[in-house]
Amino acid sequence: MIAVLRNRKDVSAAAIRSFLALCLLAPHFGCERPPRTGGEIEGKGRNAAVIADREAENRRAKRALNAPGDKQILFGDLHVHSTFSIDAFMYALPVFNGEGAHPPADACDFARYCSGLDFFSINDHAEGLSPQLWRETVESIRECNRRAGDPENPDLVAYLGWEWTQTSTVPEKHYGHQNVIFPGLEDGSIPARPISSIAIDTYEQTPPPGFVMNGAASLVELFGYPEYAEVIASMAALAGTPDCASDVPSPQLPIACRESAPTPAELLRKLDEWGLETIVIPHGLAWGIHAPPGARLEVHLTAAQHDPDKHRLVEIMSGHGNSEEYRDFAEYRLDADGRRICAETTPEYEPCCRRAGEIMRQRCGDLPADECERRVREAQRLALEGGVSPDLVFRDSRAEDWLDCDQCRDCFKPAMTLRPRMTAQYGAAISNFDEPENDGRPRRFRWGFIASTDNHTARAGTGFKQFSRVAMTDARGIADPVSEARVRYWLGGRQSDPRMPQTAESTRMFELFDTERKASFMYPGGIVAVHAQARDRRSIWQALRRKEVYGTSGPRMLLWFDLVNGPGGRNPMGSEVELATAPTFEVRAAGALEQQPGCPQDAIDALSPQRLRSLCLDECHHPGNRRHPIVAIEVVRIRPQASPGEAVAPLIEDPWKRFDCEGDRAGCVVTFSDPEFAQDRRDTVYYVRALQEETAAINAANLRTTVDPQGNAVSMRECHGGYLTPPDDDCLAPANERAWSSPIYVDFSATAPGAEARPPAGS
C-alpha cells in the first residue's frame, strides 16, 4: 500500500511516516467498514422458448451428421473467479485501469444472459476466502440456481467450488492449481469452508494485527483510495481468521477457521473426511508463470498425490493458454556432475537463461573479453536460478529485450513460458511402474479433457466472440508510465549496475504487477462441453464423472468421438476399453454458429441497459443460423511408457493422422482404424481435434515475433495489457479455433474379445 500511496505526487515521505503512525491510532476513531457482499443478481430465468430453440438447433445439427445416441451437448465453464479472489480484486483496481468489483452475482448474470451458458462453477482462490466471503459465495450460487426454473429442466446450473492454488520454486514440490467442485448446494452437501494450499506451519512472516490493517484501510480511504482500502480490509479479515488445527478431522473443525492442505495428498485426505462427491480438476499445469523450470508431472503420478476417482478431468485450455501440446525442449540440461546448466538455443526454442547471457553480452561495452564472457555465464546461471522470474536478473530490462525466450513458437494459443513436461500430452505418455494400480497395470493418468476460461471478472464463458481484449481476457497492465516506474521501483527494486547481472529475487506482489509479456498470452478462454442425458444438475454431473466431455478454444463446436468396435459395442470419448484387434473410430464435428452483433432480445429484456453495458459490454452470445465449416480433423496417438525410462517424445504422435474436410457447413465425418495396435500389442491413447475455418482471434500471434532466415528471433511487438498498447487494439490474428475430445484409452489384452468395456471407476 505504501507503493500505491507513493503514486500520488502530493504524498511525501513524511506523509507516509505519518500514515504508518496513524494506522496504530485509527481503531480508536471507531472506523468500521461494511462487509463485502456477493452482489445482486438482476436477471431472472431465461424464457423456456429460448432454451427449446437452442436444443432444437443442436438436434438438427446432430441429425445432419447422423450422430449416434440420445444425449444432448451442453456448454459450460468450470473455472470462474469473482473479485473475491485477491488477484482478481487487485486487477480491478485503478492502477490497472480495472473496472472495479465483480462479485459472484455477476457470474450468474453473465453466464445466463451475456454468454448464454448451460452451466458454470465459481472457483475463487481458497487462500483469499474469509468465512464471510465463503458464506456470501454459497448464498449467491444458491440464489442463481433458485432463478433457474424447473430443477428437472433449468435454464442454467451453477456449481459451487473453489481453487486450491499451490506453487513451489522446487520442481519436486510443485503441484500447481486444482479446482474443487461439488454437485450439491445445501448444508451437508458441501464442506463448511474452502481448503487452501497455504502451509500454516511455514509462514515466512506474521501478518500485522487485524486492528492495524483495518486502521490502515480507513486511512487509505481518507487519502482518496476506497478501492485500495477494500484490499487491505480483506487482508485484515483473513489475518483475523484463526488457523484450523491440523490434527482434527475436517468436519469436526470450527466453522470460522482457515483450513489448509499444502499438498494434493492432504487435500484429498480432507475431502475424503467429508465423504462427499467431488471432482478435482488440475489446470494451468504447464504455465511457466507459476511452474518452475524442470517441473514434471511425475510428482503428481503417485498413489498419494493422484486419486483417479476425484482427478477425473484436466483443463487443457483456458484464458491463460493451451497446455495440451508437448514439445521436446528443455530450459536446462545436466552436466557430468548432475548440475543444472543452461540449455542451448535451437531454431525452435531459446531458453531465457541463454537470452540473459545475450543481454549481458550486449551490455559489455568496453569490458575485457574474458570478463564479458564471465558475466555472460553468470547471467545465464542467475537467470536459470531465477525460476519463474529470470528477467529480474536485469531489473531495468524491458519485455522486448527478452524476445520470445522460453516460448513455444508453433503451439496453438500457448500458455506463456510453456513447461512441456507438465502438458496433457506428456501426462498421457508417462507411467509409474513403482506404484502400480490394484490390477497390476502401471499407474497412469486417464483424464478427460476440458477447457474453461479462468476469467477473473466473473465473466463465465467469454470465448463466444473475440472482442474487447482488455475486458474479456485477463490482460492487465499498469495504467501509465509514472505508475509503472514507481511500482517497479517499490516492489521490484532497481538494477544496481546495468553491466552486472544480479540475483533474480521476486515477490508474489511484484509478479501481479509484472504483466508486460503475460498480456500477449491472455485469451478470451475455452469452454467445456458435456454429452448429457438431460440438462439438469445431476445429468451434467454424471457426464463429467464418466468423462464424456470435450473442450473448445471458445466457440461452441459440436463433437462426437466414438470407438465403434469395442467389446461391448460403441464407446464414447472418455471410455476405457480392452481390445486385442485393431480399434476403429468415428469422428463427427460441426463448427460453431456464426455470431451476430449485439445481444438477443431476451437478454435486452432481462437486464437493464446499464447492466448490459457494464457487464456484457453490449455484446452477448447471439448465434445466427449458419455454422463455420470444419476444415480438418486431426488424430493424436500416444502410446504410454511400457517400460521404466522409455523416452517420451517418440511416444507422442501429433498429429498421427490428419483428414482434410470439404468445408461443408453441416460438418465433417471421419472414420479411421489402427492396425498397428494389434501388431505392437501395447496400450494406446487416442483423441481428436476438430479445426474450424480460420477466423480472427485475440492474441493468436502472441508476441508477434519476427525471425531471421535461420529461425532466430530478432524482434517482437508484444500486446501489452497496460498503456503501451491502446485498449481498443484487440491484437487480432488468424487462427483455426478448435475442439479437443477426451481421449479413449485402449489397453491391449489378448483375452479381450470376450471381455466387456471397462467403465471409468466410480461412474
Residue by residue, DSSP assigns 145-167 as HHTS--TTS-S-EEEEEEEEE--
Within the chain, which residue ranges are assigned CATH 3.20.20.140?
31-198+258-327+420-470+521-754
Superfamily of domain 31-198+258-327+420-470+521-754: Metal-dependent hydrolases (3.20.20.140)
Residue 12: per-residue pLDDT: 43
The confidence band for 279, taking pLDDT boundaries of 50, 70 and 90, is very high
The confidence band for 483, taking pLDDT boundaries of 50, 70 and 90, is confident
Q: 485477491: which residue's cell? A: 86
Residue 336: per-residue pLDDT: 87
Residue 16: per-residue pLDDT: 42
Does residue 402 register a pLDDT over 80? yes
Does residue 755 register a pLDDT over 80? no
Does residue 442 register a pLDDT over 70? yes
Most confidently modeled range among 82-91, 325-334, 668-677 = 668-677
Residue 684: per-residue pLDDT: 98
Residue 347: per-residue pLDDT: 87
Q: 319 vs 101, 425, 553, 556, 692, CA distance in Å?
A: 20, 19, 9, 16, 19
Phi-psi region of 619 (alpha: psi -120 to 50; beta: other; left: phi over 0): beta
Torsion of CA 208, 213, 215, 216, to 10 degrees: 110
Mean pLDDT for all residues in the chain: 89
3-state per-residue secondary structure call for 631-686: EEEEEEEECCCCCCCCCCHHHEEEEEEEEECCCCCCCEEEEEECCHHHHHCCCEEE
CB-based contact 120:460 (threshold 8 Å): yes
Residue 435: per-residue pLDDT: 96
Residues 510 and 24: their CA atoms lie apart, in Å, by 26
Task: Calculate mean pLDDT across residues 423-430.
Answer: 98
Cell of 237: 479479515
Q: Give percent of the chain above pLDDT 90.
A: 73
Does residue 655 register a pLDDT over 60? yes
Residue 189 has a CB neighbour count (10 Å cut-off) of: 13
Q: Please report how many Cα atoms fall inside a 13 Å half-sphere around the Cα of residue 461, on the Cβ side.
A: 31
3-state per-residue secondary structure call for 202-248: HCCCCCCCHHHHHHHHHHHHHCCCHHHHHHHHHHHHHHCCCECCCCC
**pLDDT single digits (tens) 348-396:** 899 999 999 999 999 999 999 999 999 999 999 999 999 988 998 998 8
Task: Calculate mean pLDDT across residues 746-763.
Answer: 63
Cell of 546: 464418466
Does residue 187 register a pLDDT over 50? yes
Of the ranges 3-17, 397-411, 534-548, 745-759, which one carries the lowest mean pLDDT score?
A: 3-17
CB-based contact 363:472 (threshold 8 Å): no
Does residue 205 register a pLDDT over 70? no
3-state per-residue secondary structure call for 289-330: CCCCCCCCHHHCCCCCCCCCCCCCEEEEEECCEECCCCCCCC
**pLDDT single digits (tens) 144-170:** 999 999 999 999 999 999 999 999 989
Choose between 439 and 589: higher pLDDT: 589
CB-based contact 104:122 (threshold 8 Å): yes
Does residue 429 register a pLDDT over 80? yes
Residue 512: per-residue pLDDT: 59
The confidence band for 207, taking pLDDT boundaries of 50, 70 and 90, is low
CB-based contact 182:540 (threshold 8 Å): no
